[in-house]
Chain A
């Protein structure tokens, strides 16, 4: 296979990956952020303490997280068809990707939000703020650097999951590597794909770390910057 043959394949695959990961990240953040905050608020001692609700949400999140992505994808086919009208292609892959990523992101949000000093919550309550004010003015802004890191981790994980989306004909870089590189012995193409994935993931991790760090730094004097974590494990 020559470079001129590979190029359109790779370009299309990059675009497919970007499309799937982009949309599913967006949905995961929109769905996972409130879920993660809810997990903190409903927990013991939380502002909306409701242990029953907390248990239920926690269990759903745990179950969804424990399913391997490829099984989730198959299990959700009916739902996917109901949403997108099809079970194959890029749009169909976004549904299980997003649903797999929501609980993943929610747990990361939960951890990040829990780190926020309770004294700040109290200060806002003492000013007459309600729960919504606490969420908007304290929990989210104060945990923003961690939330950005969590988003980065989620994107990297989603790129990993999206490799399996090839099984429903959604394309993408992982699909190319398997179909051409593994099944048709196009070793060269496979290595190029791997290299592209490595570069893309490094770039995302770098950008995420940079954003989190610069947000964090506006508080600190000139504290030591957190170490760059390139190629963070995708799970």
Chain B
């Protein structure tokens, strides 16, 4: 079925509770000239079937090593990788070369790359046919499948063009079509939009989202752009120094006090609390987003509330709002209004007072 990129798709999610990609205690150590660099330090990743999972981190955080360990382009030093129920690390054998079984498993995992990695000597059509050639499909079957896929990514008219004649976004669409040629259940995206401009990035992400919804494709993507996570991901993980420091579904993350990812998804400006005022970060999700809680608070306690900053957005298909407000008086004077907000199902954080929150949580 042809699918126009960018068209709104039914918002029903296809996520199930089955884990389709699992890494257990994954470690990767690079050794060169006596120096050791730990790129992955005990990474446990669980990607559920049918979700778009984003791994975000700065360059050097180990996210590239992680995604390349998933299809064993990079051999993990220790730990296991399971994709669609198959333990790939067990298939890998000992030698550096990939055996037949590992190669077969790889052919069922699609991968798209930051720099597209299309063969410049082949036409668009022939590039998409390449994985099918490797799978040993017949000529007619290859060209039928390739046309179907090019249609799917909206490039049917470019079949005879060479990659150098295409724009970046078109090249990435070819890359995606090629990655889908082997009918994979899983798509790995290695910074697929990092070389693209913002508008093209949006259209490629919309395409990935559509494919995820329509084909039930599980997508694991790595990125350094928070916007990517915000616009397509159901779940996300934050990587720092080879470790996953936070992970979960987007709503779980937003509900986690002090979550760096949540704060990054919804950056709020404004000064921290002082002697005569208390600054609060309030997060709304789902039901609570529709209630007039702020005016209720003002009326109930007869206090003046100033709004320092606010944002409402859809993250992973979820309506979310975040607001930074200021109440008069010190924190200790505002314990009751804060309790009121929490009672209403809102998540309240006091910037710069993490320790106080923890103490309160312990009570």
Contacts and interface: CB of A to CB of B under 8 A. Distances in A.
Interface residues of A, number: 27
Contacts of B104: 128
Contacts of B130: 124, 127, 137
A227 to B, nearest CB: 20
B62 interface: no
A120 interface: yes
Given A123-B111, A128-B131, A129-B134, A47 B97 contact: yes
A127 B134 contact: yes
B106 A219 contact: no
A5 to B, nearest CB: 51
A129 to B, nearest CB: 5
Contacts of A120: 117, 119
B121 A127 contact: no
B107 A221 contact: no
A131 B118 CA distance: 18
Contacts of B117: 117, 119-120, 122-123
Nearest to A131: B97
B163 A119 contact: no
Contacts of B97: 47-48, 130-131
Given A127-B131, A131-B97, A219-B162, A142 B111 contact: no
Nearest to A119: B117
Contacts of A127: 106-107, 130-131, 134, 178, 182
A141 B120 CA distance: 9
B147 interface: no
B42 to A, nearest CB: 25
Nearest to A48: B97
Contacts of A215: 121
Contacts of A49: 96
B103 A129 contact: yes
B135 A128 contact: yes
Contact of A141 (B118, B119, B178): B119
A128 B107 contact: yes
A119 B115 contact: yes
Contacts of A137: 119, 130, 133-134
B71 A126 contact: yes
B109 interface: yes
Contacts of A218: 121, 162
A12 interface: no
B106 A128 contact: yes
Given A126-B71, A128-B106, A141 B122 contact: yes
Contacts of A48: 97
Interface string A197-228: 00000000000000000010011110000000
B165 interface: yes
B303 interface: no
Interface of B: 71, 73, 96-98, 103-107, 109, 111, 113, 115, 117-122, 130-131, 133-135, 162-165, 178, 182, 188
Given A127-B134, A137-B119, A219-B164, 12 more contacts: A117-B115, A119-B115, A119-B117, A123-B118, A125-B106, A128-B104, A128-B106, A128-B135, A130-B103, A142-B120, A218-B121, A221-B164
Interface of A: 47-49, 117, 119-120, 122-131, 133, 137-138, 141-142, 144, 215, 218-221
Which 9 A-B residue pairs are closest in the complex by CB-CB distance? A128-B107, A123-B117, A219-B164, A128-B103, A219-B120, A127-B131, A119-B117, A126-B111, A128-B106
24 contacts: A47-B97, A49-B96, A117-B117, A119-B113, A122-B73, A125-B98, A125-B106, A126-B106, A126-B188, A127-B106, A128-B103, A128-B134, A128-B182, A129-B134, A130-B98, A138-B119, A141-B119, A141-B121, A142-B121, A144-B121, A218-B162, A219-B120, A219-B164, A221-B164
